[in-house]
Amino acid sequence: MKDYYNLIIELSQKTCFKDDYESKKKVREHNRAMTKLYNLKNEMNTPECSQILLKLLEHEDDRVVLNAAMLCVELKFNLKETKRKLEWVLNESDDSILSLNAEQLLRYKF
């Protein structure tokens, strides 16, 4: 089985903070990472991956939390904890783009 835990962290850390969107190179890297993250849902629909995503919801990097939450929503895993963590990112993240993404997931998926 792939090391999904570290793969999601690695891909998430390639996504942009609000100040990174000025760099075309960073935006391209962000877009590639998001495509790979979104495609992981096709192979992560297992109980083991549910537990991996639950651990990632507690990660210190808000980008990792947000992407783990996105995968949880898509796979319908850990929805109560996912909603709680999205609310935390919305209210506590120092990055307005991450807060906006959390708000959108909450609005359209819950």
* Tens digits of residue pLDDT in 59-110: 999 999 999 999 999 999 999 999 999 999 999 999 999 999 999 999 998 8
Write down the pTM of the prediction.
Answer: 0.94
Count of domains observed in the chain:
1
Residue matched to tokens 């709680």:
84
Q: What is the pLDDT of residues 45-71, one digit of tens each?
A: 999 999 999 999 999 999 999 999 999
CATH number, position 62: 1.25.40
88/94 Cα distance (integer angstroms): 11
- Of 5, 7, 2, 11, which Cα lies nearest the Cα of 31? 11
Structural domain harbouring 32: 4-109
What is the torsional sign of CA 66, 82, 85, 43? negative
